[in-house]
Structure 1
Amino acid sequence: MSEGMLLEQLRADQDHCAAELIEVLYHCAAVSASADFRMLQAISLIHEEHEEDYLTTAAAAVGSGEADPQTISATAMLGRAGDDPRGRYGPNGLEKTIAEVGAALTVTPARARELIVAGSVMRNQLPFVGGMLAIGRIDLPRFLMVVKRSELVDQEKMGSLDTALVGEIENRAPMSMTRFLTMLDATIARTDAGATRKRREVVAKDRAITVRSDRHTPGQSRMSASLPAEHAAAVNAKLDAMAADVHDDDPRTKAQRRLDGFVALAGGHTVLECRCQDCLSGAPDTVDPFDTAESFEATPDVPSPTDGTVAQADTPDQSERAMASQSDVSDTSSAQPRDGAPRPTFHIVVNLSTLLGRDDDPAFLDGHGVIDAETVRNLLAEAHRSYVHTDHSDHSDTDDHRHKDKDKDDHWHNPAHARRARAERRYRPGRKLAELIRCGELCCTFPGCSNPVWRADLDHTTPHGKASGKTNRRNLKPLCRFHHRFKTFDPGWRDYQDEMGTVFFQSPDGHMYLGNAYTGRDLFTSLAPPDQPTDHPARQRIDQIRSRRAESVKRASKREIDRWNAENPPPF
């Protein structure tokens, strides 16, 4: 694009309204993705040329008598006995490309190498997914995630993975990174189960933690760690519990309390000292010890974090068991475990068939993503489990027993309907209903948001109290606190939810966005809304009509065959 054309577009943008500028965003995102596709292709072509030049150099050095391409390639990479290939032939094609791409794009060698690998995979192994990048259906960060997470897939199965992924991307609206990665990992697990096992081994091998000084702030250090997701969830849950187990008057922020809790764990303590004025002065506790636990219930639509889910690790996990065994705790009164303190809890959704060993379908660890079947079976060996059923009721206080009422023309009558109606009129959903809704999602349902679903509020799509504003599965969805407040207090935004749980958001200027293009119902198909019962009168009526029609055609066909046989007796 010429500079003059760009300046003209920038001037025109200043005259556009917000609704028109949203279209500019769509256009820019698509153009950027297409440019990234072209960039990766160019990088890959540069690499190919440099590798060919390197082989040519090696062939000239080896001599015409050993001109076999495989021999030349092996010699160029390994050198002769005792030789240094770089000293003899210079940098290889990959090294040359890393240097050139790094200089052209002003990126680090590691980033340049990542782009070179991505370009090669895009052209040679995942061309269909690369096409999704070319037309702007996905962006560069998502494509790079596909490349990275598929690196352990068997090469012979990359074609199947390419086809499966492009089908998922084409048939769904754009989705948040959490939903995209869950879809990606689930597709890889279905395509190549061996890749999931290899990934578990790599993750266990690569675990590490580093602590280094912060070069920007004197007296401050930074810490980073790589560890299996289930271990990270346990540590995170423990820090959350320790941060919550102080009095309301503690002056520290939650982030500061979590860090102090980590330091306390390193010092052998499992309880965080409270720093409220009463605890610091040594005065007896004047705060109700249950206040902290009750605070989780203080906001509408936010169930307690100790609520269960489908096969959740309400684990007193490793961190809780350690709490029971540690005796080296601070001797201050505030350091003793307080009654009603939150337990370290994290949530896992998994099929019962997987727990029973009937299949190896992946599970979902809230806030972390897909984990493999073997890992989840080990995690849930001692966890609190809660089973979610979708085929009988939206609420935990209704039963599934139906009784035939002889006085009402043999129609089915469910005595739980009255209790269900009362539950739908209540503002706060029951525990089982809350679990079902959260298990059916992966994160906040606002477009692009990746906040964990078990930290989200449960929002009524149609406000509670209105005619159709019931507390049931068809009217509830998870929204993080920010988007819940935003949706509630910005009258210009509207949200819609259909019978299948699909959530749409409409902006004030009329743009419509799909919030949950990939959900827990896609990952766990048993969580999908139940089919209409086979004994429903409407279904029975239509089935009867269709059966009569099919039987009529069958009889007519038989009569035609009998007539032809009568008119054409053997031999024909």
Structure 2
Amino acid sequence: MTDLHRSESVVAERKLAVIAELFLRRTAEVESDGAWTSTAHEVVEAEIGAALTMGRAAAGRLIGLGMSLRTRLHATREAMARGDLDMYRVRLIEDATANVSDDWIGEVEHQLLEQVLAPPRSGGTGLTGRRLTNAANRIIARLDPAGVRAKREKAQADRFVGVCAAEDGMCRILGSVPAAQGRAFDARLRELANTVCAKDLRTYEQRRADGLSALVDGAGFVQCECGRVDCGQRSRIATTARKPLVHLIMLDATLAGGDEPAYLDGYGIVDAAHAREIAADADVEPVPAPSSVVPTTYRPGAVLDTWMRVLAGGCEWLHCDVAAWNTDLDHHRPFDHSDPAAGGPTVAGNMTAYCRNHHRLKHSGHWKVTADGDIELVAPTGHRYRTRSSGLLGAGRSDAGGRDHDADRDRDHAAAAVRRRTRAQNTEARIRAERRRRRAHLDAVRRRSPGAQASGACAADEPSPF
């Protein structure tokens, strides 16, 4: 088992090295062609995602780790190549040392690996998890105080709330918010859970979950489900519930009681009974097929817009889960603004839904898109990947109008959309800002420390007093 684990680390290091090399090559190509709308990072994300069957975020994390090993953490890379460090511990080291200056990273890494890779013959067991992170922070605080990650500030900057699909018609809500906000949220759910009478048969946890709906609707209380006519909670006057915009696509037969599943935008397939429950309190609108008359306008009309999103089911790039109503509708064959009748018609067969990131990538001219019902993406390496629309009616899409596009025209189209700053520049700016805040904090502590007036502040090149 140990040998297999070491072999896995060796292979992982080689994979990260290949990813880093690919990123550097694409960076050189992108920098020599300033008209691209997509950064090298986005280009490589797409290539890795297609080749390794993963989403954009996972591919991006591999790029970041591979580049850290190539440019900063040389000893860590060597240890991983020997099989001495696995992917988990390498990620911990990368995260802990992200703000260490180039002047100190070599020494910090050397001292840290002495503890992380403590040889068994000397009685050491190595470090992992929180102990590894703590060891890194102690070393960095001693050698490069400004490089200690401002934990609370970083956590504040990384706050988020996400909703992701789960099984059986459910979703999971996850997030990271400031402690005070989280405690207030928890207390409010507790209050809402207790707005029903004692005869309500739901568990406390179920009532807390139902409290989320009350928060979204603005109702201010959870509807009691005791079923008693004399329930004291029935006298509550509910405010008019706000109806969030949610798109549920279903066939007429399903709405009438059939078993054909429906499609919930941003989630996926839901069973027929669940779909009818959702539709019971919704505004139901038919989705007509678009007219056969080819329009001469660039933007699709409301009917075609809805029809395309129903067909697509989401971003139609490989392994992308962005909801259909959060995408752009893109012309495969570019629309001819000077002569709309000459080509690039605004029809279903000439349009595809892409999220903003993959829309930019398609227009970079680096990927080719063709289709014969399905969509085929041709990577810069020549590898071909096929993807099918995920919507309820996606399999019935017509390819009238053609899907091959002119890469040269796409690149010309991109010329005016150059990014102001690359992702690498954004990362460098963030690290500089964190180091400045940390340095300012240390200076303030020094000024408040006893004896500061007598001895004066430490010179910039003197070691930290603590």
Q: TM-score by structure 2 length?
A: 0.37
Q: Which has the higher contact order (CA 8 A, sep 6+)?
A: 2
Q: TM-score by structure 1 length?
A: 0.31
